Amino acid sequence: MKKSGIVRLTLSVLFFLFLILYAMQLTGYNEYNYNRKKMLSEEKLKAYENDIKEGKDVSIVDYLEGDKNYKNRFSSFGLTISKGIKNIFDESMNAFFKMLEDASRKT
């Protein structure tokens, strides 16, 4: 495979991944999952209502499920790689559009 073919394939894959992530952001997929996790489960809601009926001193925070901490070396590495890909993609897209702009000015 020629060098230009490898570059074209890499840019195509990166662009496709970008489109997927962009669509997820537009549709609110990640926000929906986050909010769904924050909502009270049905069991917790019943326990909360029972404690209110019994006159206990309650706080809604006691009934929410805690956030899990997923921070570790691998997630940090993945975040670093993701930021690097984003920077490369941004630079390549800027260069591509600059090239299109220069080409349109010549005609």
Residue with tokens 């962009």: 22
Q: What is the 3-state secondary structure (H, E, C) of 14-71?
A: HHHHHHHHHHHHHHCHHHHHHHHHHCCCHHHHHHHHHHHHCCCCCCHHHHCCCCCCCC
pLDDT recorded at residue 94: 93
What span, in angstroms and rounded, lies between the C-alpha atoms of 88 and 11? 10
What span, in angstroms and rounded, lies between the C-alpha atoms of 47 and 31? 27
Q: Whole-model pTM? A: 0.37
Kindly report the number of other CB atoms within 10 A of residue 100's CB atom. Answer: 10
- Convert the pLDDT of each residue in 3-27 to its tens digit: 778 888 989 999 999 998 888 777 7
Phi and psi at 70, nearest 5°, equal -100, 10
Q: Which two tokens stand for residue 98?
A: 């600059």
* Side-chain-side CA neighbours of residue 10 (13 Å): 11
pLDDT recorded at residue 21: 84
Residue ranges of the chain whose pLDDT lies below 50: none
